[in-house]
Amino acid sequence: MNIEEIENKRCEIRQESVSQMSFDDNTFDIISAFETVYFWPDFSNDLNEVNRILNDDGIFMICNEALPKENDERQKEFIELLDCSIFSKNELVSYLNNADFQISKRLLMNQKILSLVKILHGFVLLQKNSNEF
């Protein structure tokens, strides 16, 4: 099915760095990051880059399964091995605020949303330049 969509030019696959994407400003209505932000090389800069290519009324969604565990030596080993970062909810909120995203606290804090996405411990839905959806 995906091959057919690519052949019909309904889908395009590109490999790029989130740190410097080739898309024009205000290109996308929706951007999602599923289990990827752990590996973004410069999280603050990379969020600004996402913000740049997101339409003014666009939506950016981050889904993370992992949350930092203070005394979890195994998690620390994985972080070092994979050269990644695991952000707490407060850290995510701080980074996102610094990148001028408006955070929907009702979704960020709403346990019902998390129960719908049972495997995910972190769920953030953001809209650029708006407090409501």
How far from the centroid of its chain's Cα atoms is residue 109's Cα? Answer: 16
Which contiguous run of DSSP H or E holds residue 50?
Answer: helix 43-53
DSSP 24: P
User: What would the pLDDT profile of 113-131 be if each residue is shown by its tens digit?
Assistant: 333 333 334 444 444 554 4
Is residue 48 within 8 Å of residue 96, measured between CB atoms?
no
Residue 51 has pLDDT above 60, yes or no: yes
User: What would the pLDDT profile of 103-115 be if each residue is shown by its tens digit?
Assistant: 765 444 434 333 3
Helix, strand, or coil here: 21?
coil
pLDDT, mean over the chain: 78
Taking the C-alpha atoms of residue 65 and residue 81, their distance in angstroms, rounded to an integer, is: 18
User: What would the pLDDT profile of 75-93 be if each residue is shown by its tens digit?
Assistant: 899 989 999 998 888 888 8
Q: Six-digit token pair at 19?
A: 């740190």
Confidence at residue 42, expressed as pLDDT on a 0 to 100 scale:
95
Is residue 58 within 8 Å of residue 30, measured between CB atoms?
yes
